[in-house]
Structure formats: C-alpha cells, structure tokens
C-alpha cells in the first residue's frame, strides 16, 4: 500500500534560518514521484518541487531543495533563508501509477511558523 | 491557479440536499481530479478523470458522483449531502508530460 507520513504537526524557525520538514513514504513501486506543496492561510495549494524516483540528483527550486534518500524512503524539504511569507502548511505527496492512471496521495501536513 | 476555476466558493447545505460542484480549466489538459481536505488531514482523492469521457474512483468516492462531459469541465455531485461531507473541495489538473498538479481555489462546503 502507498503511504506518506509527516511526523511534525508544527515547526518553528527563525527568519533567515534554514528549516527541514520531514517526509517518509512507503511504496513497493519502482517508479514514483515525490512532491511538496505549500498551502498559505488563504487556502490555495501551490506546487513547490518534484523529485522522480530515478532522479539521481536532489531537486532544487530556488530556496527549496528536496533531500531524497531512497534507501531510507525519505523526501525531506529544506527551505533555506526562511522568510515570514514561508509561514504556511506544507504537504508532502507521492504519485504512483494506479489503475486508470497516475494517482497522488498526500501526507497530513506540517505547519511552519517563521518568527521575526 | 494555472487556469482552474471552481464554483461556488462557499456553500451551505442541509442534510439530504443535493448539489454539484463545478470545475473548469482553460488549458486543454487531459487529467482532472477532485480532492477533499478535512481539518488536520492532507488531501484525499475522491475521483479523477484521465481523459474526456473517462472517470475512476479514488480513495474516498462513496457519496459522490462525477461527470466529465468535455475536456474543459469536471463536475462533482453530492446526491444526498451528509454532515460527514463538510470539507474543502479542490479540483486539480495535471499538465500533459508533467507530474505535478495545479489546483483550483477550492470550495468550502458545510452540511448541517
């Protein structure tokens, strides 16, 4: 069965510091993908970063990087130089190839608070 | 929101009433999805459509029906609303050749 686990309900970080949000996953598939989405208090879901299971390099997008450790089945999000606008819910997600096409499952989320 | 619109933004229903949530995209993508988000939980897939005319169940399809009559629109219907369906509903699209999804602004539904 496919599963995404985010064990940190809430995290605090000082502005301008780096923070790591944890994500572990479970799948028996060889081909899958991992995502991070941000949900600000306004409610929209914003795509941040993607890592494919066959990608050898960790994905990076600006201040976001995904620390992919395949053997440990972890896909942690690292936000460098935190900003006040980074305060939001962050969801880890995994896509897999289910019957009928690609499906995506989400973790329960981590709420990040950035302190001035 | 990558051209994904949802109507209505808010809705209050009484138990047993029916309604249809509408989702439309303006970018000609094949794959469309309906999710629900409950407090303290991530998004859970209700139904998805890989292409026009096809639909498939997700994790939590009970109590819902969907319709993909054309490429642009994917609607979610609650035939007899229940308080357990109080949630925020998101429609999403997946661009062809990519894996990430882009979400609409959501519909906040309350069933009393």
How would residue A24 be classed by pLDDT, with cut points 50, 70 and 90? very high
Q: What DSSP state is assigned to residue A71?
A: T
What is residue B28's predicted lDDT score, i.e. its pLDDT?
78
What tokens appear for B52 in the block? 């026009």
Q: State the average pLDDT for chain B.
A: 92
Of A33, A43, A103, the CB nearest to B48: A103
Tell me the nearest-neighbour CA distance from A33 into chain B, angstroms. 8
* Radius of gyration for the alpha carbons in chain B, expressed in angstroms and rounded: 13
Q: Is the dihedral of CA A59, A22, A45, B44 positive or negative?
A: positive
Among B28-32, B48-52, B63-67, the range of highest mean pLDDT: B63-67
d(CA A79, CA A40): 15
- Residue A99: closest CA among chain B residues belongs to which residue? B56
* Radius of gyration for the alpha carbons in chain A, expressed in angstroms and rounded: 14
Q: Do residues A83 and A15 lie in contact, with contact meaning Cβ atoms separated by under 8 Å?
A: yes
Q: How far is CA A57 from CA A60, A79, A95, in A?
A: 9, 17, 19
At A80-101, the pLDDT tens digits run: 999 999 999 999 999 988 776 7
- Residue B96: closest CA among chain A residues belongs to which residue? A102
CB contact under 8 A, A102 and B94: yes
Q: Do residues B10 and B73 lie in contact, with contact meaning Cβ atoms separated by under 8 Å?
A: no
d(CA A35, CA A53): 11
- Residue A45: closest CA among chain B residues belongs to which residue? B103
d(CA B55, CA B65): 10
What is residue A1's predicted lDDT score, i.e. its pLDDT?
81
What is residue A4's predicted lDDT score, i.e. its pLDDT?
96
User: Percent of chain A at pLDDT above 90?
Assistant: 86
Of A95, A108, A109, the CB nearest to B99: A95
Q: Do residues A77 and A66 lie in contact, with contact meaning Cβ atoms separated by under 8 Å?
A: yes
How would residue B97 be classed by pLDDT, with cut points 50, 70 and 90? confident
What is residue B95's predicted lDDT score, i.e. its pLDDT?
80
Chain-centre distance of CA B50, in angstroms? 14
């Amino acid at each position: 069965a496919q599963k995404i686990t985010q064990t940190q309900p809430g995290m605090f970080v000082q502005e301008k510091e780096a923070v790591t949000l944890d994500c572990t996953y479970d799948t028996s598939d060889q081909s899958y993908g991992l995502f991070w989405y941000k949900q600000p208090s306004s409610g929209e879901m914003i795509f941040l970063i993607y890592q494919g299971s066959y990608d050898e390099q960790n994905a990076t997008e600006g201040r976001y990087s995904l620390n992919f450790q395949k053997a440990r089945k972890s896909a942690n999000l690292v936000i460098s130089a935190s900003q006040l606008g980074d305060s939001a819910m962050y969801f880890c997600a995994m896509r897999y190839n289910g019957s009928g096409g690609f499906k995506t499952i989400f973790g329960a989320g981590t709420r990040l608070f950035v302190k001035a | 929101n990558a051209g994904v619109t949802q109507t209505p933004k808010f809705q209050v229903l009484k138990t047993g009433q029916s309604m249809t949530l509408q989702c439309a995209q303006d970018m000609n993508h094949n794959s469309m999805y309906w999710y629900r988000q409950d407090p303290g939980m991530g998004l859970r897939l209700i139904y998805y459509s890989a292409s026009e005319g096809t639909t498939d169940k997700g994790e939590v399809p009970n109590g819902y029906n969907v319709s993909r009559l054309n490429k642009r629109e994917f609607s979610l219907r609650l035939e007899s609303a229940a308080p357990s369906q109080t949630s925020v509903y998101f429609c999403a699209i997946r661009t062809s050749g990519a894996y990430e999804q882009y979400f609409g602004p959501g519909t906040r539904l309350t069933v009393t």
